[in-house]
């Protein structure tokens, strides 16, 4: 068994683990990041792409925003489409100038890996059999296999940034954890297409055949989603079928439609709302998807993860510079407040924009009335806008 020591042991090199490692580096705190997948897998995984202003500001403050500034696409508004018409919500005007930036999560991950490698601090890919131990002692440990050897890493704190399917949350005894969960009876078929975006901003659409979303990654790449069954096999969707459905669900009476092009990637994801409370057990702190999942309709997952690690890094800085534990003790409560705000918003966006087989005719009419109210009321649009652009990180 090879033994080593660090201040903060980080499990998972998604956006949460990588950003935490980088923020700690900027505070002069050392960490080891352990990731079970390969570097290529982590970089190539196409995920969400909407960055709140708080996430953009965090990346700028952390000096990892050079490429984001060059390639990120600032969007001041979004469109909501239903009944054959598109309605623009001018988020910047409604929120005193706040906006979102389109930049793929995998690009964020790539920039953070480059930054980590630049610091020379440890980041190990393809580690196996990761387990966390002694969490209620001042020296929690992470044991893992890497490069054919068994390792034990002794830490002051362990950060569980290992996503929804990771091992950190499940290391917490069930009686210390309260789980809140809701599964939705549908999923999203996500598509990446080599086609230039035909709208400058995102289009969220509710059609009788279900939800569709038009997004983008660059001036040459469109990102699109279709509501489908949660267990749908993406291989059952030929390119022709995908485009026919996208065009049916997205086209509006003003003649707008997405441009068609070769499909580069496709995949189905289920949708769930999930919260684990509290986000701490002894010296283990959960951050990002390890602690909470939101359905993607509100575009909040990545941003919640970033807000978590910003708060955790500041709290650890207070611990090391002034031996103060108050911020660390407040980490979970403050995070849960933000999480539940995002849960409510993501659930609301999801239920407003999806069709469910259990919908009654009453549900349909109510849903239509909700959309009409949204696009006809400045108060309702402001409510959407201030949640969509995100409240400042706290």
In the residue annotation, 173 being an active-site residue is answered as no
Whether the Cβ atoms of residue 174 and residue 281 lie closer than 8 Å to each other: no
Which does residue 297 bind out of ligand APR, ligand PHB, none, counting CB within 5 to 8 angstroms by kind?
ligand PHB
Smallest gap from Cβ 298 to ligand PHB, in A, equals 6
Task: Write out the binding residues for ligand PHB, residues 133-172 only, by CB under 6 A.
Answer: none
210 is an interface residue for ligand APR by CB under 6 A: no
12 binding ligand APR? (CB under 6 A):
yes
Tokens of 129: 């059999």
Instruction: Print burial letters for 338-353: b (CB count within 10 Å at least 16), e (below 16).
Output: bbeebbebbbbbbebb
CB atoms within 10 A of CB 94: 21
Strands, E assignment, 97-248: 100-102, 123-124, 128-133, 141-146, 149-154, 157-160, 178-193, 203-207, 210-218, 221-228
Q: Under rule CB under 6 A, which residues in 61-120 are in contact with ligand APR? A: 105
Q: Is 199 in the site for ligand PHB (CB under 6 A)?
A: no
Q: Does residue 281 have an active-site annotation?
A: no
Using CB under 6 A as the binding rule, whether residue 162 contacts ligand APR is answered as yes
Question: Contact at 8 Å (CB) between 47 and 167?
Answer: no
Q: Please, which of residues 216-275 interact with ligand PHB by CB under 6 A?
A: 223
Partner whose binding site includes residue 258, from ligand PHB, ligand APR, none (CB under 5 to 8 Å by kind): none
Look at residue 12 and give the partner it binds from ligand PHB, ligand APR, none, a contact being a CB closer than 5 to 8 Å depending on partner kind: ligand APR
Site string (166-205) toward ligand APR, x via CB under 6 A: xx--------------------------------------
- The answer to whether 310 and 58 are in contact (CB under 8 A) is yes
For the record, the structure tokens of 374 come out as 């949204």
Shortest separation between residue 157's beta carbon and ligand APR, angstroms = 16
From the list 8, 7, 9, 3, the residue with the least C-alpha distance to 34 is: 9
First to last CA, the chain: 41
Burial class (CB in 10 A: 0-12, 13-18, 19+), 312: buried
Q: How many residues bind ligand APR (CB under 6 A)?
A: 27
For 181-219, b/e burial (b = at least 16 CB within 10 A) is: eeebebbbbbbbbebebebebbbbbbbeebbbbbbbbee
Residue 13 Cβ, how far from ligand APR at the closest point, in Å? Answer: 5
For the question of residue 388 being annotated catalytic, the response is yes
List active site positions: 75, 204, 296, 300, 388
Q: Which residues bind ligand APR (CB under 6 A)?
A: 11-17, 34-37, 42, 47-48, 105, 127, 130, 161-163, 166-167, 288-289, 301-302, 305
Q: Which residues bind ligand PHB (CB under 6 A)?
A: 48-50, 202, 213, 215, 223, 296-297, 299
């Amino acid at each position: 068994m090879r033994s080593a020591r660090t201040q903060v042991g980080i499990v998972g090199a998604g956006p949460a683990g990588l950003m935490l490692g980088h923020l700690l580096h900027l505070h002069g705190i050392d960490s080891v990041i352990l990731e079970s997948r390969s570097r290529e897998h982590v970089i190539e995984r196409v995920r969400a792409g909407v960055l709140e202003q708080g996430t953009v500001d965090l990346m700028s403050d952390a000096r990892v925003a050079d490429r984001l500034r060059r390639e990120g696409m600032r969007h001041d508004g979004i469109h909501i489409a239903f009944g054959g018409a598109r309605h623009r919500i001018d988020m910047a005007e409604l929120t005193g100038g706040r906006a979102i930036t389109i930049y793929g999560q995998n690009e964020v991950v790539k920039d953070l890996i480059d930054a980590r490698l630049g610091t020379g601090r440890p980041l190990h890919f393809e580690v196996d059999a990761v387990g966390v131990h002694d969490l209620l002692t001042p020296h929690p440990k992470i044991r893992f296999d890497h490069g054919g050897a068994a390792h034990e890493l002794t830490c002051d704190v362990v950060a569980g940034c290992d996503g929804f399917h990771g091992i950190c949350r499940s290391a917490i005894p069930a009686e210390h954890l309260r789980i809140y969960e809701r599964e939705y009876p549908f999923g999203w078929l996500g598509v990446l297409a080599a086609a230039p975006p035909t709208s400058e901003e995102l289009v969220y659409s509710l059609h009788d055949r279900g939800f569709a979303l038009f997004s983008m990654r660059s001036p040459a790449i469109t990102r699109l989603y279709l509501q489908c069954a949660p267990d749908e096999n993406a291989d059952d969707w030929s390119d022709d079928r995908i485009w026919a459905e996208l065009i049916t669900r997205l086209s509006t009476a003003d003649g707008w439609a997405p441009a068609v092009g070769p499909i580069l990637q496709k995949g189905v994801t289920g949708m769930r709302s999930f919260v684990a409370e509290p986000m701490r057990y002894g010296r283990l702190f959960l951050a990002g998807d390890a602690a909470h999942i939101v359905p993607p309709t509100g575009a909040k997952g990545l941003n919640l993860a970033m807000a978590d690690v910003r708060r955790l890094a500041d709290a650890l800085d207070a611990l090391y510079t002034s031996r103060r534990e108050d911020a660390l003790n407040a980490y979970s409560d403050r995070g849960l407040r933000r999480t539940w705000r995002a849960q409510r918003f993501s659930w609301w966006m999801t239920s407003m924009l999806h069709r469910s087989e259990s919908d009654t005719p009453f549900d349909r009419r109510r849903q239509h009335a909700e959309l009409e109210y949204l696009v006809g009321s400045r108060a309702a649009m402001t409510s959407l806008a201030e949640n969509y652009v995100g409240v400042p990180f706290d």
